[in-house]
Amino acid sequence: MAEVDPEDDSIERFVVYHYRYDPQRSERRNVVVAAYDDAGEFEARVDHENARLRGRAARGERIDPREHISGTVLPPGYARLAARARLVRRANVRGVAPGRRLDRLELPDSVAVLRPVTEQDDPDAASRER
């Protein structure tokens, strides 16, 4: 199986996660197991990791009932768009008004930026409001 870097935002990647306790961060979270550029290899790895998890349970190891294997497909540019969405959210939380710069940002489909139309944007807007 040829693995790829899960952080390589220039390619579509199929990422396998193991939801478990992460001692480095002292929390339960999805820990990246591997990433592939091929759906077949991805599915095979998910099956392999599920079999390992079931095998541990069959041997009598204590396993957190919330522990599981999952995966997702990340399209090219996903991390870049997600970072921009976080930027917009943080600006909104801090009360920063969306400006023209945000109009030019490429954002994920799930994010929208709304702002009032001013006379600078549309000189005829004031006359239509009357």
Q: pLDDT tens for residues 111-120?
A: 888 777 666 7
On whether both 59 and 84 belong to a single domain, the answer is no
Q: Does residue 100 fall inside a structural domain? A: yes
Instruction: Check if the beta carbon of residue 3 is closer than 8 Å to that of residue 34.
Output: yes
On whether both 36 and 88 belong to a single domain, the answer is no
On whether both 69 and 92 belong to a single domain, the answer is no
On whether both 72 and 111 belong to a single domain, the answer is no
On whether both 72 and 83 belong to a single domain, the answer is no
Q: Does residue 101 fall inside a structural domain? A: yes
Confidence grade of residue 5 (pLDDT, cut at 50, 70, 90): very high
Model pLDDT for residues 83-126, shown as the tens digit of each residue: 999 988 898 889 887 777 777 888 888 888 877 766 676 666 55
The pTM of the full predicted model, rounded to 2 decimals, is: 0.77
For the chain, the domain total comes to 2
Model pLDDT for residues 23-76, shown as the tens digit of each residue: 999 999 999 999 999 999 999 999 999 999 999 999 999 999 999 999 999 999
d(C-alpha 30, C-alpha 51), whole Å = 18
Which ranges of 3-76 would DSSP assign to H, the alpha helix? 39-58
On whether both 67 and 25 belong to a single domain, the answer is yes
- Host domain of residue 29: 13-76
Q: Does residue 72 fall inside a structural domain? A: yes
Q: Does residue 6 fall inside a structural domain? A: no
The torsion angle over the Cα atoms of residues 23, 69, 30 and 5, rounded to 10 degrees, is 100
On whether both 69 and 36 belong to a single domain, the answer is yes
d(C-alpha 72, C-alpha 82), whole Å = 15
Three-state DSSP class for 71?
Answer: strand
Q: Does residue 1 fall inside a structural domain? A: no
On whether both 66 and 17 belong to a single domain, the answer is yes
